[in-house]
C-alpha cells in the first residue's frame, strides 16, 4: 500500500509498493555544482555575475558553507578568475574539487527534500529519476538536497531539456512538474554510473 513520506508546502510525496517515490509540484532551478567542469559557466562568482545570485548560495550572510566549498579558513574557495566553487550532496569520490560535484549546467538532476531522503525506503542520493513536464520526460539523477521547506527543484540542464525557463535567477515554473525517483536503483546519465550514497 502506498505511503505518504512527507507533505511539504501542500505537496504530497508518496512511495509506492514497488519503491517508486513521486510528487507533482512547481520546478525551481538549481545551479549548484556548476563549476565550469564541462565548459559551461560557474554557478557563482565573486562579482555576482555567475549563473545564480550569490545570495541564493547564502553568501556572505547565510549558511553558505552548505552550498559553497570552504577553502579551509572560513572563506569560499575560488579560482584565479573569481569563480567560486559550489557543491552538490552527491560527490564523486577521489576527484579534485573542480570535477567532484554534479554539474547543474550540463547534467539533468533532481533536488530532494531532506524529509523525503530520510523517510524513503532505499538510498536516494545517486538514484535514478524521471522528470516530466507537459508531454516530455527526461531521465535524471537525484544529486542534491534542498532546504527543509522546499520541494520541486531541478538542475539547469533538466529545465532546458524540458523546455522550462532555465535561469536560476529568473526561471522555473509554478506548477505541473512531475518528479519520480527509484531509491536504491543507481542512475546512469550519459554513460556515467552514479554510486548510491547514504546520508
- Nearest residue to 12 (alpha-carbon basis) of 110, 154, 129, 116: 116
In a domain, 109, yes or no: yes
Q: SS3 for 162?
A: helix
In a domain, 51, yes or no: no
Residue 170: the pLDDT is 97
In a domain, 189, yes or no: yes
Q: What does the block give as the cell for 154?
A: 531541478
In a domain, 62, yes or no: no
Question: What's the structural domain count of the chain?
Answer: 1
Q: What is the CATH number of the domain that holds 14?
A: 2.40.40.10
Q: Tell me which residue range forms the domain holding 21.
A: 3-32+104-193
In a domain, 159, yes or no: yes
In a domain, 89, yes or no: no
In a domain, 128, yes or no: yes
Which one-letter DSSP state was computed for residue 100?
Answer: H
Q: What is the dihedral of CA 113, 39, 48, 103, to 10 degrees?
A: 10
Per-residue pLDDT of the chain (199 residues; tens, 9 = 90+): 899 999 999 999 999 999 999 999 999 999 999 999 999 999 999 999 999 999 999 999 888 999 999 999 999 999 999 999 999 999 999 999 999 999 999 999 999 999 999 999 999 999 999 999 999 999 999 999 999 999 999 999 999 999 999 999 999 999 999 999 999 999 999 999 999 999 8
The DSSP secondary structure of 31-97, one letter per residue, reads: -TT-BSTTSSPBSEETTS-SSS-GGGGTTTTS-GGGTBPB-SSSSB-B-TTSEE-B--S-B-TT--H
In a domain, 15, yes or no: yes
Amino acid at each position: 500500500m502506498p505511503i505518504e513520506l512527507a507533505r511539504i508546502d501542500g505537496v504530497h510525496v508518496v512511495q509506492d509498493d514497488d519503491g517508486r517515490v513521486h510528487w507533482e509540484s512547481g520546478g525551481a532551478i538549481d545551479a549548484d555544482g556548476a563549476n565550469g567542469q564541462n565548459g559551461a559557466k560557474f554557478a557563482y562568482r565573486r562579482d555576482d555575475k555567475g549563473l545564480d545570485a550569490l545570495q541564493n548560495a547564502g553568501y556572505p550572510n547565510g549558511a553558505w558553507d552548505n552550498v559553497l566549498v570552504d577553502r579551509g579558513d572560513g572563506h569560499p574557495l575560488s579560482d584565479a578568475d573569481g569563480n567560486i566553487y559550489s557543491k552538490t550532496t552527491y560527490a564523486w569520490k577521489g576527484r579534485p574539487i573542480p570535477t567532484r560535484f554534479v554539474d547543474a549546467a550540463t547534467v539533468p538532476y533532481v533536488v530532494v527534500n531532506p524529509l523525503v531522503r530520510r523517510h524513503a525506503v532505499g538510498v536516494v542520493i545517486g538514484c535514478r529519476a524521471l522528470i516530466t513536464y507537459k508531454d516530455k520526460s527526461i531521465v535524471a539523477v537525484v544529486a542534491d538536497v534542498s532546504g527543509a521547506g522546499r520541494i520541486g527543484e531541478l538542475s539547469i540542464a533538466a529545465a532546458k531539456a524540458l523546455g522550462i525557463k532555465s535561469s536560476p535567477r529568473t526561471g522555473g515554473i509554478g506548477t505541473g512538474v512531475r518528479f519520480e525517483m527509484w531509491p536504491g536503483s543507481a542512475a546512469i546519465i550519459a554513460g556515467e554510473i552514479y554510486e548510491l550514497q547514504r546520508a
